[in-house]
Amino acid sequence: MVGLVVVAHGDLAASLLESAALIAGEPERAAAVGFGMEEGPDALREKVLAEVERLGGEVLFLVDLPGGTPSNVCARIALERNLRVVSGVNLPMLVELLLVEEGETLDGAAKVALEAGRDGVLDVTDMIRDQGGG
């Protein structure tokens, strides 16, 4: 299985991973890395690299905002190590990835993340109206 490293501002990464575990079960190859206000990019890089080394193999980074420090740090690491980064991490994306089959490739996992992330963003009020419930 591809390793997942969720990297986001504040406690978002840990909260997302904890919430996903409630739905999909405890992840075997996943880590959460938070970026605090007191930290700089170098400190974040060290934390992220420690998780990459711990997980070993292929790693997909899931980050919160494109162009933010977590995204930029992970993109540099991804380019150095031939890994992948997907921004806009959300709970549907993370749950889907935790349920992915064992043999999924890194590119395949990135595709799953993009599709599940997009598919999970809906106007629920419109859905209810369309179903005749509103």
Task: Tell me what the mean pLDDT of segment 65-74 comes to.
Answer: 97
Reported confidence tier of residue 134, pLDDT bands at 50, 70, 90: low
Reported confidence tier of residue 86, pLDDT bands at 50, 70, 90: very high
Q: How far apart are CA 100 and CA 54, in angstroms?
A: 20
Residue (of 113, 74, 117) closest to 97 by Cα position: 113
Task: Tell me what the mean pLDDT of segment 102-122 comes to.
Answer: 94
Reported confidence tier of residue 130, pLDDT bands at 50, 70, 90: confident
Asked whether residue 67 carries a pLDDT value surpassing 90, the answer given is yes
State the pairing for strand pair 30-35/3-9.
Answer: parallel
Structural domains in the chain plus CATH codes:
3-130 (3.40.50.510)
Asked whether 87 and 24 are in contact (CB, 8 A), the reply is no
Residues catalogued as catalytic: 9
Task: Encode pLDDT of 51-60 as tens digits.
Answer: 999 999 999 9
Write down the pTM of the prediction: 0.93
Asked whether residue 133 carries a pLDDT value surpassing 70, the answer given is no
Length of the chain measured in residues: 134
